[in-house]
Amino acid sequence: MDSVEETAGGYQPWSEVTPEAARRLLVAAVEAFAERGYHATTTRDIAGRAGMSPAALYIHYKTKEELLHRISRIGHDKALEILTTASDGPGSAAERLDAAVRSFVRWHAAHHTTARVVQYELDALAPEHRSDIVALRRRSDAAVRRILADGVEAGEFDVPDLPGTTLAVLSLCIDVARWFSVAGQRTPDEVGALYADLVLRMVGARTPAPRE
């Protein structure tokens, strides 16, 4: 996993996964899925990256798909936390949308390897696990839609299509994981600031949110 992912924002990826062997396997799976794709990755690939035998993987995870679901669940829980914290926080709708986009984009940039797996391997999940993740995505969608609706009600935003605009905002943020590189010219913070400004312009924000 890229070193920036280990330190950005003080967030230690997968610290909630124990024991250490299970965490090592999960980190190895993230790297393999991001590099090769879920379907092209074998359990032997994952175990080898973790420096363990293939048999050791099954002590902690019954299947490769269970590993993917664990990764996806943790990532989507984090996404929901970021967006609801902004949605339920203080300030005007413009300030809350600014905070939501900045934080969400920053996470997708700083943790781009993880985010690519979390956001783009959804179809590989078993039906019951996919339903679990889709429910979390709907809650994230609702958090952003609440901010936009508040802004329209307060006269801060010009958004004639709330569902469509919500989808556009989230899609814009998520796509950062696809192209972001630590070798690029912008830091995660800089990309977050850029996208927050773009989104506020997109919704016709009447009063610019304060900048950090």
| Neighbouring residues of 102: CB distance < 8 A, sequence distance ≥ 6 | 192, 193, 195, 196, 212
pLDDT computed for residue 9 by the predictor: 47
Mean pLDDT by 10 residues, the chain (212 residues): 43 79 94 94 95 91 94 95 95 96 96 93 95 97 97 95 97 95 90 97 75 52
Closest CA to 112 of 186, 43, 162: 186
Alpha-carbon torsion angle 106, 77, 137, 181, nearest 10: 30
pLDDT computed for residue 211 by the predictor: 52
pLDDT computed for residue 12 by the predictor: 63
pLDDT computed for residue 191 by the predictor: 97
pLDDT computed for residue 4 by the predictor: 39
pTM, whole model, 2 decimals? 0.86
pLDDT computed for residue 183 by the predictor: 85
* Count of Cβ atoms closer than 10 Å to residue 118 Cβ: 26
| Segment holding 188, helix H or strand E | helix 188-202
